[in-house]
Structure 1
Amino acid sequence: MDQASQANANPLLDFSGLPRFAEIRPEHITPALDILLQAAEAAVARAEDPATPATWEEAVTALEAATEPLGRAWGVVGHLSAVADSPELRKAHADNLPRMTEFWSSLGQSLALFEKYKALSQSEAFAQMNAARRQLMENELRGFRLGGAELPEAQKPRFAEIQEEQARLSKDFSDHVLDATNAYALYVDDAGRLQGLPEDVREAARLAAGKDGKDGWKFTLHFPSYFPVLQYADDRALRQTLYEANVTRASELGAQYGNGQAQWDNTGNMRQQLALRGEEARMLGYRNYGEVSLVPKMAQSPADVLRFLDELAAKARPFAERDWAELQDFAAKELGLAALQPWDVAYASEKLRQQRYAFSEHEVKQYLPEHKVLQGLFGVAEKLFGVRIAAEQAQTWHPDVRFFRVTSAQGELLAQFYIDLYAREGKRGGAWMDDARGRKRLADNGLQTPVAYLTCNFSAPVGDKPALFTHDEVITLFHEFGHGLHHMLTQVDELGVSGINGVEWDAVELPSQFMENFCWEYEVLADMSAHAESGAPLPRVLFDRMLAAKNFQNGMMTLRQIVFSSFDMHLHTDYDPQGGTSVLALSREINDRVHVVPQHPLSRWPNTFSHIFAGGYAAGYYSYKWAEVLSADVYAAFEEAGKLSGSVLDNETGARYRREILAVGGSRPAMESFIAFRGREPQIDALLRHGGMAA
């Protein structure tokens, strides 16, 4: 069967355009991977053959031509697993995960290929290559070393086993969190228990119950359902019930709190993953996995990271102590809550915010309907970067998903993206950007343009009313779109270093966190707001209150992020998974040392810490704070330009940012890109100032 016929019969084999999501079925997965793996294995064998010359075309391009379709097809499968989970899809994914892991592991371990790449890097041709190709070669050589290519042959099977087992455990971890989240439902039949909840939250809960054929209101552990209860419900027992169900997910307490089964407990999974990572590190000649993780990052050592976190914690702690004392005092005097419990914190914080700043998040939400927010977001990108964004038709995996194209001012296609905004069953929680396809120059000198997935878990529209977003959700949307712009506006033609590919992990959050800053500019918010009933833009007086409240409890929130980051780094450097201390005990010890808010005895938050156990952030969660220093400093350049031009949406600074940071992708070290844009190395001052923690 020729390529066209194969693609016709199996949509996963069609790479002529966008994925044919409406046609892809679980039964297509194994046959497609059979064909793609065979082609990729043949290409590896050809590249490894001593008779194949060590040239860019024969060693790099030919291999990429066969492995990229395999990666793209498997990427579609992984994406569907995250956004449209089903028993059939989960089984097909699980059946194929071992052989996919085995292929990529064996590729990374190929000594013959490593020698071929080394020979190419030492050839005269290497000196003539452009910067992107040279950077790609350096990354590939580093990848071979970390992939075990230099290990003795006798050790390679065990190294491959470790990769396969880690991939399985990571998928299991993610599935357990999703299953535990989906398993829980709380039905409330007494309207009196819903006092304090906003009308749209109650209506969504009523519709959810009706969908199940029940009267009353249904609450779940999906964030848009449970968090408004913690934030607004006057019924303390209701808050406690949902809090306890949420913090015991995927733990040994799951069944007791109605959110799980014994096989969903991630406690053993975490220890197994940590033991395997430690073994992998030792095999590669490192003392711990933290050192392995940092090899391709900006930070030089785990000690540097922990020092950075400790210094930031020391700066934030006085502000956090003040935040916590104020909250406890307010809760006792105004709410009659003498002992503040974890299920009271969001509720008391919201009441204090309303008293102090005279507004609620719910009030702001009425001004942020989805269509205006998207229009405003796209408008920011268009003004800053000289692009145009327009809706386009494409096959999708769910009716709620929308598709857009990004063009230059002259109409040239630059990129496309899918946007999937709402929480639903079968969809992993959280928000993320992923690449469906990267930019690269084709053999016929044509161009493959990038395609991105932008995924969030916001509240869906209720009835015939539009979806209304909280300001936090708007910030999340801008964050993910920042990642998307990094992927989509690249001008690099080498796939391995175009867009986000090859960017140091602790710099990859720079473009996302940078975009969040625009959500705190009145000129931006006024343009993207329209009251759900009156259509009026967000009033300036309300914005000023929001701005005054911007750093409300930022000391506490900063310490919370440092707990996560420090816990992650210690887990991967000096924690012994076979020792007497449990993962949970380590989380408590670090929380007690770093945070001002105690960790509740019931809390099992590590069991759902998907970033480090299922999301690629192992010994890398500190990246959020590290990149925040970079992004705040970058944004300060727009503030400086705004003082001269009258607007932070300064297109000259935007053009420079696009050219020096977005366009170059991973084709040069992130520090070089930062200095090219800012004219100097990063400074922490802007982060402290933006966070209200400057002296």
Structure 2
Amino acid sequence: MNILTEKFSTPYHSAPFNEIKNEDYLPSFKELIQKSEKEIDAIVNNPEEPTFENVIEALAYSGEQLDVVSNIFFNLNSAETSDELQQIAQEVSPILTEYSSKISQNEALFNKIKKVYDEKEKYNLNEEQQMLLNETYKGFVRSGALLNEEDKEKLKKISMDLSVKSLQFGQNVLASTNNYFKHITNKEDLAGIPDAILEQYAEEAKERNLEGWVVTLQYPSYIPFMTYAENRNLRKELALANGKKSFDGGEFDNQNLIKELLHLKQQKAELLGYKDYADYVLEERMAKSPTKVIDFLNELLVKAKPYADKEIEELKSLAKADGIDEMQAYDHTFYAEKLRKAKYDLNDEELKPYFPLEQVQEAVFGLANKLFDLTFEERNDIPKYHEDVKVYEVFEAESGKSEDGSHNSEKTFKALLYVDYFPRKGKRAGAWMTSYKNQYQKDGENSRPHISIVCNFSKPTKETPSLLTFQEVTTLFHEFGHALHGMLANTQYPTLSGTSVKWDFVELPSQFLENFCYEPEFLKTFAKHYKTGEVLPDEKIEKIEQSKNFMEGYQTLRQIGFGLLDMNYHTQVGELEGLSVKECEDKYTKATQLYPVNPETAMSPSFSHIFQGGYSAGYYSYKWAEVLDADAFQYFKENGIFNPEIAAKYKVLLSSGGTKDPMELYKSFRGSEPKVESLLKRAFG
């Protein structure tokens, strides 16, 4: 028996991680693909007249178990991978791509879809059903349903190549990250680094059976080193190692892979009748066109550049006092921290004792309760994939009056939430939210989602709990905002549920929630010293509030640089013929560069967001969504940050998923379209 092909007997039919063996995956994928293909055949061979129910709805609900197993496998390949899992991924990806191509290019199926689409007026569909029909039809057209047989085969081959190569890209970045570590035996080389971080480096050395200290390229290790290490030569060495990830000409180099991926995407776009891949992608975004995106980014660039230049001049004067005539990118974090301390008398190490991870988690849970009536209860009997993971049942309180007039309160199960906070060798860098199972309604049952948050925070040690930097606090709130989008989902169909929205809308809930971290009224409820229980003093809270826009110009230019790099890669692919990846990168980001460019480093070969993840021609969406989140939070600020009426309207926006056009959804919540001035006002006053 293969555990993955059976109905799970766990609570809420959650993933039975403790029973899954690696050898289960490949056979289960093959079996579930066959099962899903039979469901498709049943739709195609149904002798009845095609209708919305027997074609569009039937298709939306098909392949449920295959989706669940795919989510389990690919989520683990990001959060708890191994050489064996990566090898399986290389085998599985083309099989899944072939399966999805087979469906999207099934002519008989598409003919039925087209018939329902052409006759949609006769079905009296509600808004969500209309959206499902439109998205289904468009999805098939965008997957090549209108192509001739020869071009369909070409598209299928391109899609398979893309899936394998993007997977390889991510594996190379992970291997390149894990391959480097800096072993330090002289404590003087670690001058400036706080004791808690030194303890972390010592633990890392011990794990490797080494004396002294070890620094890695994992962010909880790398960032503190770049922030506090006084040894400039070592900062340079670490920065060079980080900038050479998959860019050193070695086994895990991604430069050729980038060119191959971009050419494949261009071929795909042209085959489907688009000018370029960005044109193809943006048809399905709020922004609609590459021109609009580039205009948007350039408008922000013009506004932000003077602020960024002024910020860098301040840092340069600090560096000059230390005898540094030409400041480099690897000096930035160190001097930014010095300036932050001088300006606001704040540094991360002073703040960290007030932000133990468990306390911050309780705060974000409490905020979800205050705004959306959610409660969280840990479950120890639900299987998990690593001992560091915790699982929570999420409930929604439903208060009301019974028939006799007495007050009653019930709670309804809303979701499972998995949290996975600490770095490991098998986990990729960064932080993300994902799901193991989508929400949907079928046969009178509201099937609730299983959501996961994955981060890379410093592990607790024998002496101290996991203490978060303030940036890590905002990271947790960010990912929890995504999680709320998933947990509150309340739609009919799985393909329109939760975060299944336009990509430049998906960052609104995450970035919106970060705003609460800067509100004194809220901060005082949870920023308490882990040893003494003392509340973070008012003057420090004030400094946090004042420092909210610290280096905002620099950060804005950095994000614009990533956005322009991404957009140019996906509109100017012809330039790769005559230029190297490094030359393209330098050219596309030139207007946003604030430090001398290092010829030995490049970020594109480790830019997983656009070459492995789903942000191809979509990285601009972070800044785009900032306009939305600044405008949305301003609405709360004007009426009280815990205003129940506005929170209720916002909850409708979150629970609606992709059932409506995002701009219409936003206007229903806010009463008007978002204004870019809201972002500029928040960022630069």
TM class, shorter-length = over 0.9
Q: Secondary structure at the match of 2:598?
A: coil
Partner residue of 2:497? Answer: 498
Partner residue of 1:665? Answer: 657
Deviation per residue, 1:273-310 (Å, 9 max, x gap): 00000000110111100100111111121001000000
Partner residue of 1:207? Answer: 203
Q: Secondary structure at the match of 1:47?
A: helix
Deviates more, 1:52-61 or 1:366-375: 52-61
Amino acid at match of 1:403: V
Within the candidate set 667, 670, 676, 1:675 is matched to 667
Residue 325 in structure 1 maps to residue 284 in structure 2: no
Write out the 4+ residue segments of structure 1 that deviate beyond 3 Å after TM superposition.
11-16, 60-66, 122-127
Partner residue of 1:559? Answer: 557
> What's the CA shift for 1:481?
0.7
Cα distance between partner residues in 2 of 1:338 and 1:484: 46
Residue 652 in structure 1 maps to residue 639 in structure 2: no
1:17-416 alignment, distance < 5 Å: 17-49=13-45, 51-123=47-119, 127-253=123-249, 262-333=250-321, 335-393=322-380, 394-409=382-397, 410-416=410-416
- Structure 2 unaligned segments of length 5 or more: list them: 398-409
Within the candidate set 527, 530, 535, 2:528 is matched to 530
Cα distance between partner residues in 1 of 2:46 and 2:150: 22
Cα distance between partner residues in 2 of 1:578 and 1:481: 38
Amino acid at match of 1:368: F
Cα distance between partner residues in 2 of 1:166 and 1:432: 22
> What's the CA shift for 1:11?
3.9
> What's the CA shift for 1:52?
5.0
Within the candidate set 607, 611, 615, 2:605 is matched to 607
Partner residue of 1:426? Answer: 426
Amino acid at match of 2:237: T
Contact 1:13 1:32 in 2 (8 A): no
Identity %: 35
Q: Secondary structure at the match of 2:524?
A: helix
Q: Secondary structure at the match of 2:63?
A: helix
Partner residue of 2:403? Answer: none
Cα distance between partner residues in 1 of 2:413 and 2:223: 40
Deviation per residue, 1:618-639 (Å, 9 max, x gap): 0000000011101110111100
Deviation per residue, 1:616-672 (Å, 9 max, x gap): 100000000011101110111100112xxxxx122221111102x112110001000
Deviates more, 1:125-134 or 1:194-203: 125-134
Contact 2:308 2:551 in 1 (8 A): yes
Contact 2:327 2:595 in 1 (8 A): no
1:444-593 alignment, distance < 5 Å: 445-501=444-500, 503-576=501-574, 578-593=576-591
Cα distance between partner residues in 2 of 1:120 and 1:464: 65
Deviation per residue, 1:566-615 (Å, 9 max, x gap): 11111111231552022221211122223333332222100000000000
Contact 2:610 2:617 in 1 (8 A): yes
Cα distance between partner residues in 2 of 1:465 and 1:52: 67
Contact 2:60 2:493 in 1 (8 A): no
Q: Secondary structure at the match of 1:418?
A: strand
Contact 1:12 1:29 in 2 (8 A): no
Contact 1:592 1:598 in 2 (8 A): no
Amino acid at match of 1:116: K
Cα distance between partner residues in 2 of 1:657 and 1:127: 31
The alignment of Structure 1 onto Structure 2 pairs a total of residues equal to 669
> What's the CA shift for 1:56?
3.2
Cα distance between partner residues in 2 of 1:520 and 1:154: 57
Cα distance between partner residues in 1 of 2:332 and 2:266: 37
Amino acid at match of 2:426: G
Amino acid at match of 1:463: K
Cα distance between partner residues in 2 of 1:389 and 1:640: 29
> What's the CA shift for 1:13?
3.7
Deviation per residue, 1:355-379 (Å, 9 max, x gap): 1111211111111001110111111
Within the candidate set 634, 637, 646, 1:636 is matched to 634
Cα distance between partner residues in 1 of 2:221 and 2:78: 19
Amino acid at match of 1:500: T
Cα distance between partner residues in 2 of 1:690 and 1:389: 32
Deviates more, 1:630-639 or 1:682-691: 682-691
Contact 1:46 1:52 in 2 (8 A): no
> What's the CA shift for 1:400?
0.7
> What's the CA shift for 1:124?
5.8
**RMSD of aligned C-alpha atoms?**
1.5
Q: Secondary structure at the match of 2:301?
A: helix
